[in-house]
Structure 1
Amino acid sequence: MREVVVTGIGVILPNCDSREVLWEQLRTGSSQLELEHDEVFPDGVCAIGRVRDFDPAKYFEELPERFYRGYHRELQLYLAAFLRARDDARLDLGRLSPERIGIFDGSARTMFQFWYDRIRAEDPSDPDTRYSRRDLMTGLPGQAVGIAASLFKIMGPTYTFSGSCAAGAIALGHAYREIALGEIDVAFAGGHEASLVRPMFMMYSDANLLSLERTDAKRAVRPYAGYSTNAFGEGAVLMVLESAEHAAARGAPALARVLGYKSGNNGYHPTTVDVAGVRPTEIMKSLIGSAGLEPDAIDVVAGHGNAVQLSDVSEENYMRLVFGKRSSEVPLISTKPIYGHLLGASSALNAAAVALMVAHDCVIPTINFDVKKLKRAANHQPNTCEDRPVHHGVAMSYGMGGYNAALLIGKAA
């Protein structure tokens, strides 16, 4: 098995389009959520993590305008993050073997907004609203990777994984395996999501899974104590993974190493989590053990942390089962108060956050945490970051449908 390293991170998120800004917002706990007032929300107002004022021309200078102007905004967000990741890794794709590069994407509701908007615009009496071959191409779920491969002449494996909120982690895990096994040398992997439309808010509101915060958007998500439930965001998070040998040969510094990936289903109920945390515990212990480590080697866990009580309790339970008395020493943090719940991209954001914490020896905070509600056997790094050695971290994700996916990330050699 070959060693796999992270050499670049590309993001398009609310008020964030670089690795440097991403780290600053995570480190300082700077929430990018804002209140929106619109009749599309169940009661007219909602906290949202929306990418505003997105201009594709800023990111696609090297491409003819006709190549991207006709693409739906979701595809543009993904492609912009792809280019940011490429440039952050200092990759010259023209100098690499195209069949040795792969693209792995994860999305919970890919093209959901496209088809919602398209169907609403349908008018049988207006020939201009008829479906066309462009809808056939750009509206195909999973087409983001196909378009990226076409634009940048990539000929290796391309996949889109739909594993609910764990989709981004699943994509990263499969990219890791393909590189570790020697099938490819370079992978663009992560997740994207852009589905902030009326049906989303109606469904989650009906399930009592939408935050009721209507005064301060930045406090809309309060995990592990406040149980506020979700506020949603959008964007794309991609990481460049390479074999360590390939990265060294081109002189690329590694941000971190990917040391393992495990996934599994609860096998219980499609919408209910394993509240006791038993199945996630098995997955995390297997992940750590397969890398030849003990739980004592883990310095931080980026959890699902969606502020839904059953999920949050499940995570605190697996922390106790995996780490025992150390559960009060190992921070279980959440990134969702910063950008909102990114659905399929949220688990990719967790992986990027762990890679950056390892690279910077700093544990980012779980903001909006009421320290008076901290459980004795828990540690959520409340409200402020802490500079401390971070040698190994786990990015853990849950997904509706019983999904669990975990990535183990360590310090670059």
Structure 2
Amino acid sequence: MEKRRVVITGAGAITPIGHTAAESWQAVRGGVCGVAPISAFDAADMKVKLAAEVKDYAPEAFLDKKEAKHMDRFTQFAVIAAREALRDADFSAENADLDRCGVIVSSGIGGLQDTEEQHDRGRERGFDRVSPFYIPMAICNMAAGRVAIEAGFRGMCSCPVTACAGGTYAVGDAFHYIRDGYADAMLCGGSESAVTPLAIGGFTSMKALTAAEDPNRASIPFDAERSGFVLGEGAAVLLLEELEHAKARGAKIYAEMVGYGATCDAYHMTAPLPDGSGGAKAMAMALRDANAQPEDVDYINAHGTSTHLNDAGETAAVKAVFGPHAAKLAVSSTKSMTGHMLGAAGAVEAMFCAFALRDGFIPATINYQVPDPECDLDVVPNVGREAPLRYALSNSLGFGGHNGSILLKKWEA
């Protein structure tokens, strides 16, 4: 079967640095840091006091008050982003074959906030008195389900739960699903909202989060003083379409999606393979999938979490795949601005890659101060730069050893 071409025609997002896709991208261009003291709860007695929360968020500003009440925050974010993506794409359900339109939206943790609240309620009143909406609000797939209900998309509806790689899996799986002829359009991405006492405590206990108290020295990927990631929240949803389907309705196109690779380290619950070989295989697979050469790639949006193991291992992986060309690559981490949005991270970063290709702009790794010999790539320190870009790769490496890479190409009509 001939492989069909797939393009990005719509984008929506709500992130720690913007309430829309355009606002978030403008903040990336300006090097805005979304890290700040935790406001969701009183963290005074906790070791970790910083997070990258969605700022000034009021559900009723985006959603009907009654419908918002029956959605966990992560689902609210997904629905908000999906609505924006459809508006941005000027996509009309009335003119589409909705049986050939689907949804793949990831969440790594789901409705943890509601789980904590209902557990407290159960302890106080008895567990038979918890909300009847608890289960359908908390399960990870409900963001995908609500997006499908909202859009009326009746094709495949799924939720990859692959930790920090989930958003990339969602976008990559949607790309293959369209490319191989099973759908004409897919809403895909990720959503997460886990800035809660239990999540912060759990990640702190396993020493994954930084305890830094200066927002400008907390999420510092590739910096020698990095000491863990900053937990972020938010969502991004992209509308992917088969090229001829998009052209037939006169859609604008941000970028073409051309390659996807997914592998597993099969090594450790949380630690990546030290040599980065699992991630390297995913990158190489994405290149092969696109019939692209390493030298074609100009920019990599790295997983770049600001943990010692990830950043060093990912650097080794890039060198293994790209050889001498690695020295010419720009390899930045926008997590320096957004924090680590877990199941939403890969989707947000895929969106940033699409915008980078469209605008010819490479995002910076902000707040970078102390070089690390183990991370000696061009990390685009502190200030983004204008540059002609042809291909951009986005990496995600998750707990459980999940690795995902997607390759995007600049759209040229």
Q: TM-score range by the shorter chain?
A: over 0.9
Q: Tell me how many residue pairs correspond in the alignment.
A: 408
Asked if 1:222 corresponds to 2:220, the answer is: yes
Alignment of 1:8-407 (within 5 A): 8-36=10-38, 39-40=42-43, 43=46, 46-60=49-63, 65-123=65-123, 125=125, 130-214=129-213, 216-225=214-223, 226-370=225-369, 372-373=371-372, 377-407=376-406
Q: Distance in 1 between matches of 2:207 and 2:376?
A: 28
Cα distance in 2, alignment partners of residues 375 and 71 from structure 1? 43
Distance 1:111 1:67 in 2: 16
One-letter code aligned to 1:22: S
CA shift in 2, pair 1:324/1:44, >3 Å: closer
- What letter matches 2:61 in structure 1? K
* TM-score, normalising length: structure 2: 0.93
SS at match of 2:159: strand
Report the secondary structure of 2:191's partner residue.
Answer: strand
Kept in 1, the 8 Å contact 2:260–2:285? The answer is no
How far apart in 2 are the matches of 1:57 and 1:229? 34
Change (3 A) 1:44 1:311: closer
Superimposed CA distance per residue, residues 127-152 of structure 1 (whole angstroms, 9 cap, x where no aligned partner): 9x813432343233311222222233
1:5 aligns with 2:7: yes
State the Cα deviation string for residues 189-217 of structure 1 (Å, max 9, x = none): 01010111111111221222211211x21
Q: Which amino acid aligns with 1:97?
A: D
Structure 1 residue ranges without an equivalent (≥5)? none
- In the TM superposition, residue 188 of structure 1 has moved relative to its aligned partner by 0.7
The CA deviation string for residues 285-311 of structure 1, in whole angstroms up to 9 with x for no partner, is 222123121100000111111111111
| Letter paired with 1:59 | F
Mapped partners of 1:291, 1:285: distance in 2: 10
CA distance, structure 1, for counterparts of residue 383 and residue 397 of structure 2: 25
CA distance in 2 between counterparts of 1:198 and 1:189 reads: 29
SS for the counterpart of 2:56 is coil
- Partner SS state of residue 161, structure 1: coil
CA distance in 1, matches of 2:375, 2:301: 19
How far, CA to CA, are the matches of 2:279 and 2:219 in structure 1? 23
| Counterpart secondary structure, 2:133 | helix
Q: Secondary structure at the match of 2:186?
A: strand
* Distance in 1 of aligned mates of 2:123 and 2:275: 51
Q: 1:341 to 1:42 in 2, by over 3 A?
A: farther
Query: What CA distance in whole angstroms lies between the structure 2 residues aligned with 1:95 and 1:40?
Result: 49
Q: Is the 8 A contact 1:12 1:237 kept in 2?
A: yes
The code of the aligned residue for 1:51 comes to V
Q: Residue 268 and residue 43 in structure 1: after superposition, are their counterparts in 2 closer, same or farther (change >3 A)?
A: same
After the TM superposition, which of the residue ranges 32-41 and 205-214 deviates more from structure 2?
Answer: 32-41
Moved more, 71-80 or 368-377: 368-377
Amino acid at match of 1:71: M
Instruction: Determine the C-alpha separation between the residues in 1 that align with 2:30 and 2:181.
Output: 38
Q: Residues 294 and 325 of structure 2 are in contact (CA less than 8 Å); yes or no, is this contact kept in structure 1? A: no
Counterpart contact for 1:109–1:193, Cα < 8 Å: yes
Deviations, residues 356-391 of structure 1 (Å, cap 9, x unaligned): 111111111011112654669511011111111110
- Distance across 1 between alignment mates of 2:324 and 2:194: 41
Contact residue 111 and residue 141 of structure 1 kept, 8 A: yes
**C-alpha spacing 1:41/1:74, structure 2 compared with 1 (3 Å):** farther
Q: CA deviation at 1:44?
A: 5.9
Matched letter for residue 220 of structure 1: A
RMSD: 2.0
Identity %: 26
* Alpha-carbon offset, residue 92 of structure 1: 1.5
The code of the aligned residue for 1:43 comes to M
Query: Is the 2:33–2:337 contact (alpha carbons within 8 Å) kept by the matching residues of 1?
Result: yes
